[in-house]
Structure 1
Amino acid sequence: MRLDPVRRRLATVLAVLAATTGLALVAPAAATAAPRPLAAPGDSGDDGEGGSKSLVEQLEAASKGFVEAKEALDRSKRRQQQLATRLKEIDAELGPKQGALDDIVRQSYRTGRLGPMSALLTADSTDGLMDRVATLQTVAVKQDRAIRDLKDARTKQAQAKTAIDAEIRDQQRQVTIMAKRKAQAENALKAANAAAGDEGSNGASSGSSGSSGNSSRASAAPRNSDGSLPDESCSVNDPTTSGCITPRTLHAMQQAQGAGFNHYVACFRHQNSGEHPKGRACDFAADKNGFGGVASGSSRDYGNRLANYFINNASRLGVLYVIWFKRIWLPSSGWKAYSRGNGDPSSDHTNHVHLSMR
């Protein structure tokens, strides 16, 4: 193939530069490129997270459902405690209120039942009649107030007991939902691992148990007045790419960086499924400057500590799940096998920690 004059001159210049400087003129290494989305054999779309589109969607739904049910359960338990405290206060009020009414009744029996007719018949003067009428009115007012106070207290007592019963029923519903969501996630993983020939490796990942490692406490993400997490969209600029992320994802990344996890990060990217295109996921490289080969030594330790940091702060940050070194951490189940990659460090998550957010 013949080169035109311009291309021949350019080739000559490059050859001279290479010969005189000893520099190899090659394309820059893509060390900092984010893991590329993977085709998902037998499934439509891709997730870029080492699994099929349907698997990722099930894990997302199961984890979100589990966490929301757990938080609803916790809120219900707090409400139940508040109601129990209020019920105790009402019970303490009932004694004196009942006692006040009993005193009025006893006084009535001691002095004889005083009614309008007896007041008229037994009065020996106009002044005496007026005194008896005033006494009759005073007793009636006191008795009416005592009865009303006692009735109100008993109504509040019944309402508090009914509310406590409702909270207990709600808690039972949330526990049932949590169990179903846990089974949904584990069954989806079991089926995926069976298809990958890795049925027996659903144990905890060595060196990243989630109960140890980095103990730094993250600042909690903003919540609604009832304690739930607000719905968020991909609305803030992603500082790691030209895309967008949610405010909660940005908060989690900044908290991790503030805790000393300052290696390369990539968040938003276009793909057909998963959390990255929603701005709810970030990939944290184990190596300092980019996504390299399988992490080892200090890079492996960094990944372990970072994964544990997100797990230990999962509730405060709003973590959906974490993937690291062929394992996935789920709020319902802890660490489980996640061997859906293609054997390369990116799809196996052996060179980066994947964080998905609610």
Structure 2
Amino acid sequence: MTAPLRRWLTPVVAVLAALVVFVGPLPASAAPAPPKPSGHDSQPTLLNDVIEAKNRDFVKAEAALKKSQKRQRELELEVSRLQRELNALAPQVNEIAAQSYRSGRIGAVSMLLEARTPDSFVQRAGALDELNMVNAKQLAEVNAAKARVQQAKLAVDTEVRDQQRLRNNINRDRAAAEKALDLVGGTGLTGGLVNATSPVARVAPGRTADGDWRSESCSQPDPTTSGCVTPRTLHMYKEVKRAGFTRFVGCYRSGGPYEHPKGRACDWSLQNSGFRSWYNNDTRMYGNNLTAFLVRNADRLGIYYVIWNRQIWFPATGWKSYSGPSNHTDHVHVSLL
């Protein structure tokens, strides 16, 4: 028996008393897409890359927003200028209306009929025609100014609305990616080398109507040893394997007061056989992605706590620093309720 295997057979260190109190599983977000874990042919998106991409998008959105705001200020100045033009034209419009009233159809006919000589008739006709041209021009300018004001306002409203929507969406996506990374241990635990999504586990047996989990005995053969596991532990084991994590694992072991001798815990190695601390991106990502799968599906699997890479996670408290005889850099420990 190798030294790493003997190390796995030692009792699990006592969980800090302050963290042992657990009031029941809290909902854990499970992503809908089921990418394969590290080590397969597919190349799933890493959360670290997602966050970087969202930050790049945010920088571009900020630049676009500033450009839009500059254009907005220009349009606002144009709106102000056109409004001043409208204000200046308003008295002229009133005068035009008065003139139109005074020189309306009947007034114009009367104006022409009052001409006593052919010359005065021509002069009066020319004056009336000129007045009508001035009226038409002034009214056209007023209408054009109004149209320009309305178009400028519409452009401002549309541009600002689009830029605000874009910035809000990017902020939401960035916050979601950062929250997703925090859920699985953050940069400190994972180095950002963790898949953005995990497969969705099937719900474990033993869930009660009020959301609690029924107590289970060590009644099922342990597929990793000659011992036993609970039905919920066996379900978790099968779901982790189904998700593609197929390296060495050990569950039951005798002795000790904690979950292994009760058939409620498994240690998932980073190696195909034995135990060795992570030493490259492959082994670290394997541990990160396995941990992420367990944490994201904690509510569906009935998980009590997870230990990985000097950190311990409870559904009720999240990630905390962990120290003990094993620093859990060579395997992911999971205990079931």
Q: Give the TM-score, by structure 2 length.
A: 0.48
